[in-house]
Amino acid sequence: MVGGYYESINTILRDWVLSIKGHIRNILPVLICWYLWASRNDSKHNNVRMNAMNIISKVKNKITQLYNVNLIKAVSFKNHTNVASAFDLIFINQSINITEKLIYWRCPTNDGLKLNTDGSYNNENAGCGGIIRDQNGKMVVAYAGPSSGTNYFIAEIDSLLYGVKLCLSLGVNNIWVEVDAFLLIQYINDISKNNPDNFYKIREIKLCLSRMNYSISHILREGNAVVDGLAKLGCNLDCFLHFNENSIPRNIKCLINLDHMGLPYMRSS
């Protein structure tokens, strides 16, 4: 018996889920299970204690985000307006001050690969992270390691330099590079040149890129979540590590799978 009424989770879901597409009763169990699973992983692998109120807060925030970008609407709460009020959603004469933007990670096209890189700084140590993926969104290789930088931007440069060198060592010919540091792109494209402290590293990056067919573009931080996690990991490493699908940390693998499925991240503004 579960809760004194049901024999199993399956019987709970059969009674809970409706045949109405996008109804809140169909969405809530998915979100609850997801955040329970994420919290369980944090507890097991990162020693972060599970907290029921934190999970509830994350579910409520996600419902609000989905509503703000019109992925769920008033009709999603049909016959359950009391549930809407629990999420502080008002459907009449409402004004929404927070806007949400969907951010997607995109697969490379044709026979090329895609390199995403990021840097991180935690006020003590800096780290690098990067991943190379194919046109199906499958991981070729990922890396994480330390940076000698004293701020996140130097870590961004170090991470990109390591990534393009790795591409060359793998014999990559066509590469789409994506970073969330717009200033770094300006340096690579010679739009900004006033950076004497990192002149030689940027020159080396451009030299490596010149040996491949490449394009470079900007992605918002939310869409770069995979390498953000790897860069944070790099802050705690003494040397660079390479990962495959079997060795990559589970929390990073979950984000890779979300990208592979084409699920968006959300950016508030």
User: CATH no. for residue 125?
Assistant: 3.30.420.10
Q: What is the pLDDT of residues 229-264, one digit of tens each?
A: 999 999 999 999 999 999 999 999 999 999 999 988
In one letter, which amino acid is 222?
Answer: E
Q: Residue 9's pLDDT is what?
A: 66
Residue 93 lies inside a defined structural domain of this protein: no
Residue 128 lies inside a defined structural domain of this protein: yes
Q: What is the pLDDT of residues 120-151, one digit of tens each?
A: 999 999 999 999 999 999 999 999 999 999 99
Strands 100-103 and 265-268: antiparallel
Q: Residue 6's pLDDT is what?
A: 52
Question: Do 163 and 250 belong to one domain?
Answer: yes
Q: Which of 27, 59, 87 is the last residue of a domain?
A: 87
Residue 131 lies inside a defined structural domain of this protein: yes
Question: Do 117 and 182 belong to one domain?
Answer: yes
- Pairwise CA distance, residues 267 & 260, whole Å: 19
Q: Residue 226's pLDDT is what?
A: 97
Q: Residue 143's pLDDT is what?
A: 99
Question: Do 112 and 160 belong to one domain?
Answer: yes
pTM: 0.66
Q: Where are the alpha helices (DSSP H) in the chain?
A: 9-16, 24-46, 52-68, 81-86, 152-169, 182-188, 199-209, 225-234, 250-260
Query: Residues 145, 162: contact at Cβ < 8 Å?
Result: yes
Residue 3 lies inside a defined structural domain of this protein: no
Per the structure, the complete domain to which residue 23 belongs is given by: 9-87
Strands 139-147 and 126-133: antiparallel
Query: Residues 94, 125: contact at Cβ < 8 Å?
Result: no
Question: Do 141 and 218 belong to one domain?
Answer: yes
Token pair of 255 as six digits: 């984000």
Question: Do 24 and 129 belong to one domain?
Answer: no
Average pLDDT over the chain reads 87
SS3 87: coil
Question: Do 246 and 122 belong to one domain?
Answer: yes
Would you give the distance in Å from CA 261 to the centre of its chain? 12
Q: Residue 91's pLDDT is what?
A: 67
Residue whose structure tokens are 């990021």: 118
Query: Residues 87, 64: contact at Cβ < 8 Å?
Result: yes
Tally of structural domains, the chain? 2
H-helix or E-strand spanning residue 145: strand 139-147
Residue 133 lies inside a defined structural domain of this protein: yes
- Residues belonging to the chain: 269
Token pair of 13 as six digits: 């879901």
Residue 18 lies inside a defined structural domain of this protein: yes
Question: Do 132 and 222 belong to one domain?
Answer: yes
Q: Which of 33, 64, 87 is the last residue of a domain?
A: 87
Q: What is the pLDDT of residues 167-218, one digit of tens each?
A: 999 999 999 999 999 999 999 998 777 678 889 999 999 999 999 999 999 9
Q: What is the pLDDT of residues 170-184, one digit of tens each?
A: 999 999 999 999 999
Query: Residues 160, 132: contact at Cβ < 8 Å?
Result: no
